[in-house]
Structure 1
Amino acid sequence: MRYQNPQFLYFLFAIAVPIIIHLFNLRKHKTVYFSSILFLKEVKSEKRKKNKLKQLLILFSRILTISAIVFAFAKPFIPSKENQESSNLFIYIDNSFSMDNISKKGRLLDVAKEKGIEILENFNHQNIRIITNNFNSTENLIKNKKESKDYILNIKSSSKNRKTSDILQKVESITSDPYTLFIISDFQKISCNLNDLIDNDSTSKRILIPISKQTNNNISIDTCYLKSPINNSGNSNIICARIKNNSTKNEEDISINLKINDKHKTQQITSLFSNEKKEIELSFTSKDESHLNGVISIEDHPITFDDKLYFSINVSSEIKVCQISDLENSNIKKLYENEDNIVYTHQNIQQLDYNLLNAQNLIILNNILYFSSGLIDFLETYVDNGGSICIIPAKEVDIEHYNLLLQNLKTNLFKSHINSQLNISKINLDHKIFNNVFSTKKLRKDINLPSINQHYSLQNSNRVIKEDIFTFENGDKFLNSYNKQKGEIYLFTSSISEDNSFTKHALFVTTFYNMALQSVSSDKLYYTIDKGDEIKLKTANPNLENIFHIKSENTDIIAEHLIEKRNQYLSSHNLIEQANHYQITQENEFLSYISFNYSRKESNTEQFNERELQNFIKLNNIQNTSIFLSDLNISENLNKLDKDKEYWKLFILLSLIFILIEILLIKKIQS
């Protein structure tokens, strides 16, 4: 048996008080005068024995009453056999970004570290392991109290986020023996699956120590994307940033700032309702800049890891366009050959160089009557890997054969050939190839649009996702665009011959020039730390060794070089830890920039509260898991946890019984 308040046992000396009173009462004599004591002598001996017995019973009842009251205040208990301290003590301290939030006692991580040290001070273990989200190999090693305290004091915030199952698996990978695990965390709902706590292992015990945040305010920049590819022409570019209010209250006057290459470009002010997402357009211009390193930022506290979003854009210096045909279209040739940033080539359909074709940004299939199975397979793979193709049919084609190509490319199929002149009556000005072309989203009614003498109607299909660009007055389509995997397909329904009015219209130049601009597949603007994404390598120097570095001011990682389907990739093996811009180099030669950002998984700071955790444990009858109460300190919680059967209520009841016995005995004597 143990006592929660053993200091109260000193009050057992109070037992001496009724004993002393009893002894003094025995020495008192009372004189009673009688005329004759003849009859008293006969009952004297018998009554003396009864009184002596009753006095002793009163004494014992008083002693037992005092003892019961003292033991009740000392709170005796018998430790549970299941709760005996195991030889393996683990303390997990959550150091994810959500622990930067604020509680009534300060920063959550600082409070967690204090509680971890308090646990150390209340245990006599010398075999201790401290675990954080880092899962370092040093955390597998046994530490003594001093080493454990020093390790806890040096814990810093980490970008790594661990599920409950990850923590349990980590502990069980270290030891197969029974253990005691303290989990000190904010128990964020996004990463904490309470079902992972349901376990039949009764030999080990887990103690949850939840730390509650004071506020639920956080604004995050979740992602960004370009509305159109970047070029060196000096045109205005737009990058869209998606921001979210993760709090339960409205936020006003949020300032979103954009920096490009350390120069401030623009600022937008916005407001957000509770839990609202909003996309903000940020405009900037770039000219003669081959690399753009940008940062979108806001001001928000106390959670700051998601207040900055880094991105990198490697601007293509040239666009490669190739026309494949029997007879080269001179209008297309003149258009592209006059552009400094476009490298134009032509290949005859009978003499194709697939290696050169694979390096093109845009392939124009013009006036081709027959597609070989090898060309069809190449075009499908080319589009899937991010290439763009433009299909211009001949005036008279075998529809059934053409549909073999279109079917593989997942576009609408040709239905029939129509020989009639039709005007283009509708233009989809929202399509990306018209970005920065028209000042308004509505055409003037008096605008002169081109006409086409013949075209192919298309079969309707619900399985095909398309975007109309040009539409005839009868509703048929002249030009559609389709996305397939990483690439894009532009499908004309009519030939574009020398005498076609479309080739003489300004829309011809606009359409084909912007088609080439859009064919430049943008690299990923950024990668996410700890996600394990492979980094696509667009260029490499064949004259150098395949030794690639990912560098920043304080980081230099040798990346693994991978080749898959003729594409080159780099793997950092999740060694990047800081959100920032990084250089990719081959040996010492610079290749490109990339950016890394922290995962936005923890931006939503909603957490399980103490009551929710208690209810889950009780509802699922989880015997080996308990929870520390926030209104008790670590020492009090440990004492409460260590008790199986408490007897203070029993001793209160016994003290009342003994008092009642004493009262009855006194009344009996008096009567």
Structure 2
Amino acid sequence: MSRALFSLAIPLIIHLLNKGDVKTVKVGSVKFLRESDTKQSRKIRLNELLLLFLRMLLLALIILYMAEPQWKRNVEKASLTYLIEPSLVDDETFMSFTDSLPQNNMRWFIEGFPEFEVEIDPKVNPNYWQLAQKLHEVHSDSIVVFTKGLVQGIKGTRPRISQKVHWIVVDNELEIDKYIAAKKVQDSVLLYKVSSSSLVTDLQKNVLSGNDEKIKLMTGDSLELEESGKTIKVPIVKNDTLKVTIAYDEYYQKEMQYFSASLEAVREYGMQEILLNRIDADAQFSEGRPMDLLIWLRNDKVPEIDLTTIAIKKDSLANTLLEKTESKNRYHLTGRLNIKNTIEENFTNELAKLLLEDDSLYQKMKGLDQRVMAEPELTTIVSNEGVDSQSFQSMDISPWIWLTIVLVLVLERILSKLKKQ
């Protein structure tokens, strides 16, 4: 913004340059001209300065608007605030308990932490630790978070925050037993069933013959299965095999091993066949070879191919291990892989997102995961760094600046038209 303010000199430079563009007319005597035009000249110069000021002010307001300024004001802190995970709305016992809590101290545990009276989507699955890093937006001395504590809500590293937060895991008694997909295997059908509770999530695979009496109807994309007197519709997934090539040299051999292990996990838990081809430094890479993903772990130039490619490019400022680039289908591995960062940054999950579609078996199984974290494992680290004794609330003043810009522009146009400048 400081550099942009130098542009305020533009109207001043134009003004000074225009002053030099004056024609000199020789006359016999200027005695009477000097006496008669003094007041009029002063008025013209005053109008010029006023227009100059308005134009510089207009430019300054535009720069300020683009900076998206926030107005900070002191706010009173609450002594205690209760945050509630949206999915707990379906728990009648818990919702009855909330009636005993002070309503003005209750908020939803989602992005923005809206008031409890606001209608929200109960199916939202919050990222607990990501939201914990934003708890400074809740102006409260102490915070209590009521949550299901689902394992799927834990992503990234344990955060350091300034507030004291007490996490309370509400008992999750929901148990899921659901068929998520089927695959045709020659004359048989392979059924995938997810069983999940607060303790464990299990994937079961059952094989039925194509003419089994349980199968009532089978089409190209689904089958109807009769079980326990109920008819269940199960989607049929394709048997497509993903072809992945890893080109590596000796320096990145460990990275090759981490990628291989992650791809094996994706194959096992994503229920997706993966054909893996490894090419070391002594082997020649063929660009014409059919593949769905190329992982380039070499220091030489990355092939320019129209395929999804992951190439290593170290970046200490990157937020994730796998980052999308501006190029189509190109991703960067931003650092060397080790046990610590592959676990903390969910490397296998990120690779699965890249390989598998949103409606894949992996995503369906992940959405049904009801495993619960123990309360001690949810505890965040309290840090005194950057703690301020005062609490502030930011207010966007951009609309007011925009209104001022319009008013100044109208005033400048009117004055310019009247004075023909």
Structure 1 and Structure 2 fold alike (TM over 0.5) = no
TM-score range, shorter chain: 0.3 to 0.5
Whose radius of gyration is greater, 1 or 2? 1
The structure showing larger relative contact order (alpha-carbon pairs under 8 Å, at least 6 residues apart) is: 2
TM-score norm. by structure 2 comes to: 0.33
Higher strand share: 1
TM-score norm. by structure 1 comes to: 0.22
